[in-house]
Amino acid sequence: MSERSIVIIGLPESGKTTFLAALWHLVTEEDVDGMALRFHTLARGNASHLNQIAARWRDARIQERTGISGNRLVSMSLLDAADNPVRVTFPDVPGEAYRRLWEERDCEPEIAEILNAGGVLLFVHSDTIDLPSWLVDEIEQAKKLGIPLPVGGEVPWHPRLAPTQVQLVDLLQTLRQPPLDIGPRRLVIMLSAWDKAEGERLAPPAFLDAKLPLLAQYLRQNIDGWTWRVCGLSAQGGEYDPAESDKNSVPEAEELRQMDRPSQRIRLIAESGESHDLTEPLAWLMR
User: 3-class secondary structure for the chain?
Assistant: CEECCEEEEECCCCCHHHHHHHHHHHHHHCCCCCCCCEEEEEEECCHHHHHHHHHHHHCCECCCCCCCCCCEEEEEEEECCCCCEEEEEEEECCHHHHHHHHHCCCCCHHHHHHCCCCEEEEEEECCCCCCCCCHHHHHHHHHHHCCCCCCCCCCCCCHHHCCHHHHHHHHHHHHCCCCCCCCCCEEEEEEECHHHCHHHCCCHHHHHHHHCHHHHHHHHHCCCCCEEEEEEEECCCCCCECCCCCCCCCHHHHHHHCCCCHHHHCEEEECCEEECCCHHHHHHHCC
Tens digit of pLDDT per residue, the chain (287 long)?
556 788 888 888 899 889 999 999 999 998 898 999 999 988 777 788 889 999 999 998 888 765 444 556 788 888 888 888 877 877 666 777 788 888 888 888 878 888 888 899 999 999 999 988 776 677 777 778 887 777 766 777 788 889 999 999 999 999 999 999 999 999 999 999 999 999 899 999 999 999 999 999 999 999 899 999 999 999 988 888 887 776 778 888 888 888 889 999 999 999 889 999 999 999 999 88
- The Cα–Cα gap between 252 and 108 comes to 40
- Write down the pLDDT at residue 285: 92
**What's this model's pTM, rounded to 2 decimal places?**
0.88
- Average of per-residue pLDDT values in the chain: 86
pLDDT in tens, 172-217: 999 999 999 999 999 999 999 999 999 899 999 999 999 999 999 9
Ramachandran angles phi, psi of 199, nearest 5°: -60, -20
The residues pairing with 122 across neighbouring beta strands, listed in sequence order, are 9, 189
